């Protein structure tokens, strides 16, 4: 669409510049995280949510992407995940302290970019989203290895860990936060389905990570309700986890299809929030794309 390519080109240049602004180890590690790429979906939301009478904020796009990058670096450290987007995670190469410092640095650079605009409302929006990310991570810790986690508790975690930053991106652009929140939940559910079904070469991570880590995602929770082996594996039973066919058992319960229906419902909710946006058709298409993606 008109202007998006130019916006994303400028975004990449500014991301590189702000990450490199304080040379040293954390900047080098941050640059590797930046070079790993990504969908840049949150900055795209900033652009698409911007009204016709307002120039899409580059600072906001940079800030939400830096916060997202920071959470990935920290999440990999917390989860001891060895790979991210098909490449070695920062902590596994540089160590835990360097990864922790890099995540902190990226958070700091995000708020430096946004505060330089002088827009205190924008800073407050991103600060609230960042707080929600931390709350979501804490909630995930309490739910780990708990197959009795309710679907509502899982959806609350999705809203905090993913939906709130999508919401913030839309609000920073000037659009509907409700759309962003629903889209984020749909995105996370689709991501969790891919963890149970996607090939490593497509997703960039090893399938079944959530099951091995004991993270109760929607497809795993739905499968655990019908299959005792899946339930024990999710609870951390080493014998059940050693069963090489556990993911096949998840699929056999129909949990992947049922979880995807929930993702589609959230995508419909997102579309229902749209009303007169400049890029309404593109925002509608995005709700389909996040659910139907393969990576």
Contact 106, 70 (CB under 8 A): yes
Q: Which parts of the chain have pLDDT scores under 50? A: 200-203
pLDDT at 276: 87
Q: Tell me: the pLDDT tens digits for 5-20?
A: 999 999 999 999 999 9
For 48-101, how does the pLDDT look when each residue is reduced to its tens digit (9 = 90+)? 999 988 899 999 999 999 999 999 998 888 777 666 666 777 777 778 888 999
User: How many C-beta neighbours within 10 Å does residue 199 have?
Assistant: 11
pLDDT confidence of residue 98: 87
The number of beta carbons lying within 10 Å of the beta carbon of residue 1 is: 11
C-alpha torsion sign, points 226, 198, 267, 67: positive
Q: What is the pLDDT of residue 201?
A: 38
Kindly report the pTM of this predicted structure: 0.93
Cα angle vertex 45, ends 277, 191, to 5°? 125
User: CB neighbours (10 Å) of residue 257?
Assistant: 12
Rg value, the chain, Cα: 19
Query: Residues of the chain with pLDDT > 70: what percent?
Result: 95
pLDDT of residue 2: 82
User: Do the Cβ atoms of 83 and 36 come closer than 8 Å?
Assistant: no
d(CA 289, CA 183): 10
């Amino acid at each position: 669409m008109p202007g998006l390519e130019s916006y994303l080109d400028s975004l990449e240049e500014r991301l590189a510049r702000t990450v490199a602004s304080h040379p040293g180890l954390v900047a080098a590690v941050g640059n590797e995280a930046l070079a790993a790429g990504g969908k840049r979906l949150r900055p795209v939301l900033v652009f698409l949510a911007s009204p016709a009478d307002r120039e899409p904020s580059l600072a906001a796009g940079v800030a939400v992407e830096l916060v997202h990058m920071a959470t990935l670096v920290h999440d990999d450290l917390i989860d001891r995940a060895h790979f991210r987007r098909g490449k070695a995670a920062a902590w596994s190469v540089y160590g835990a302290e360097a990864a922790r410092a890099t995540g902190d640095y990226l958070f700091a650079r995000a708020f430096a970019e946004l505060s330089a605009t002088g827009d205190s409302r924008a800073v407050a929006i991103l600060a609230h989203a960042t707080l929600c990310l931390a709350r979501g991570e804490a909630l995930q810790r309490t739910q780990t290895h708990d197959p009795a986690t309710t679907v509502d508790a899982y959806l609350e975690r999705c809203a905090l860990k993913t939906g709130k930053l999508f919401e913030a991106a839309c609000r920073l652009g000037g659009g509907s936060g409700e759309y962003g929140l629903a889209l984020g939940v749909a995105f996370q559910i689709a991501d969790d389905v891919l963890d149970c079904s996607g090939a490593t070469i497509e997703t960039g991570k090893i399938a079944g990570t959530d099951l091995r880590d004991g993270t109760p995602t929607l497809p795993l929770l739905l499968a655990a309700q019908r299959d005792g082996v899946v339930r024990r594996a999710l609870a951390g039973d080493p014998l059940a986890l050693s069963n090489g066919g556990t993911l096949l058992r998840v699929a056999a319960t129909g949990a992947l299809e049922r979880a995807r229906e929930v993702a589609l419902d959230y995508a419909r909710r997102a579309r229902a929030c749209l009303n007169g946006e400049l890029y309404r058709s593109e925002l509608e298409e995005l709700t389909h794309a996040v659910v139907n993606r393969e990576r």
